[in-house]
Amino acid sequence: MNLVQTRAAIPGRLLFGGDVGHRVFYGVLLALAVLVPLLNLAVPEGSALHLSTYTVTLMGKYLSYALLAIAVDLVWGYCGILSLGHTAFFALGGYAMGMYLMRQIGARGVYADPLLPDFMVFLNWKELPWYWHGFNHFALAMPLVVLAPGLLALVFGWFAFRSRVTGVYLSIITQALTYALLLAFFRNEMGFGGNNGLTDFKELLGFDLHHDATRVGLFLATVAALALGYAACRTITASRFGRVVLAIRDAESRTRFIGYRVESYKLWLFVFSAVLAGVAGALYVPQVGIINPSEFAPINSIEVVIWVAVGGRNTLYGAALGAVLVNFAKTWFTAAMPEVWLYALGLLFIVVTVFLPQGIVGFLRQRLGAAS
């Protein structure tokens, strides 16, 4: 009897058990990294097995969302910081990448100005704003992908956590933060392309963005970033730092009274999470080909929270799963029945909250746990 029970428990544990679920995650990423380039580049276009470049890019987009979801899970699932403004960091990373891509257009723009991006010519600007200098160099632009969201998170978090703003109040000011940035980036005078944002990108590091191989390369870069980001999050959550973070989530004042500077822990975790979100944004922009202020919209950040809740928070891979599933559903719905999508999303959130409080991963764990 005992033996049987032990055996029955094994497959469940292999798939979703506390320590093994992440192997499945790495396995899936590895399979994607091998199969997607093969099916797109090596299999001829007429074949039934051929994967269209459109699909490759779509998957790359989902995976950059998955990285964003992991970033949100890190602060929400592990530390109880419900950030409803994480797409602000995502968009900032995206804008940094977008500015680099804009400068790569050079004289190939509509107005053929060798220095000024089209929207600046259109606005009758005569010279490049100071903060656009240096963005023509990849090596100078990429640090900004990390620094812009990281610094914003550092300043915002320093004030918020220092003042012990928690719970719903913190969520509200994160919404305000992303909304303020939305309004700021809408303004033409900001010099980020206003309402239209940055688009019409041509090439990245000299590779044509419309070329299949470049698309596959971007997809692989996204897979790699997701794997590395995930590994970093796992290292953090498995360390004693991670245990302190969980302790803060469960009993904040207790943690403080045994001598931990709670605000420092929250701050560094938040900054790291913002950096991950920024990287996700930078990978997203060349694949979708545009970045505009709508990425800052508060609703987007709320959607990310729904992805995490659907997949299962406090698991990291659950967040990634949720991001991919919900976005797949979104792609399908907005093509088939666009007017239904928001209702479906709302319904999904209700169903998950009521019936799957631990998300899909939590549900599967429970089922497999019960089966054994």
Partner 1 sequence: MSQTGKQGVAGGLYNRIAQPYLGLLRHRGSALRQEELDASHGTILYLEDITVSFDGFRALDALTLYVDVGELRCIIGPNGAGKTTMMDVITGKTRPDAGSAWFGQNIDLLALDEPRIAQAGIGRKFQRPTVFENHSVFENLELSMAGDKSPWKLLTAKLSGEQRDEIGHTLELVGLLERSSARAGSLSHGQKQWLEIGMLLMQRPRLLLVDEPVAGMTPQETERTAELLLSLAGERSVVVVEHDMDFVRSIARIVTVLHEGRVLAEGTIDQVQADPKVVEVYLGE
| Interface contacts to partner 1, rule CB under 8 A | 162, 235-236, 239-241, 243-244, 246-247, 250-251, 253-265, 268
- Mutual orientation of helices 21-37 and 2-16 as an angle, nearest 10°? 50
Query: Whose Cβ is closer to partner 1: residue 162's or residue 187's?
Result: 162
Query: Whose Cβ is closer to partner 1: residue 137's or residue 261's?
Result: 261
For the chain, what is the radius of gyration of the CA atoms? Answer: 22
* Smallest separation, CB 265 to partner 1 (Å): 5
* Smallest separation, CB 77 to partner 1 (Å): 12
* Smallest separation, CB 158 to partner 1 (Å): 8
Query: Whose Cβ is closer to partner 1: residue 2's or residue 253's?
Result: 253
**In the block, which residue shows the tokens 């209700």?**
350
DSSP string, 215-266: HHHHHHHHHHHHHHHHHHHHHHHHSHHHHHHHHHHH-HHHHHHTT--HHHHH
* Smallest separation, CB 228 to partner 1 (Å): 16
What is the spatial distance between Cα 4 and Cα 135, in angstroms, rounded to a whole number? 62
Token readout for 129 is 């704003």
Contact 237, 18 (CB under 8 A): no
Secondary structure letter of residue 44 according to DSSP:
-
Query: Whose Cβ is closer to partner 1: residue 40's or residue 237's?
Result: 237
Query: Whose Cβ is closer to partner 1: residue 22's or residue 256's?
Result: 256
**H-assigned helices in the chain:** 2-16, 21-37, 53-79, 86-105, 118-122, 138-162, 167-186, 212-238, 240-250, 252-257, 262-288, 298-311, 317-336, 341-355, 359-371
* Smallest separation, CB 233 to partner 1 (Å): 12
Query: Whose Cβ is closer to partner 1: residue 42's or residue 251's?
Result: 251
* Smallest separation, CB 11 to partner 1 (Å): 24
Query: Whose Cβ is closer to partner 1: residue 275's or residue 282's?
Result: 275
Single-letter amino acid code for the residue at 353:
T
**In the block, which residue shows the tokens 């033409």?**
188
What is the spatial distance between Cα 32 and Cα 30, in angstroms, rounded to a whole number? 5
Helix (H) or strand (E) holding 207: strand 207-208
* Smallest separation, CB 229 to partner 1 (Å): 16
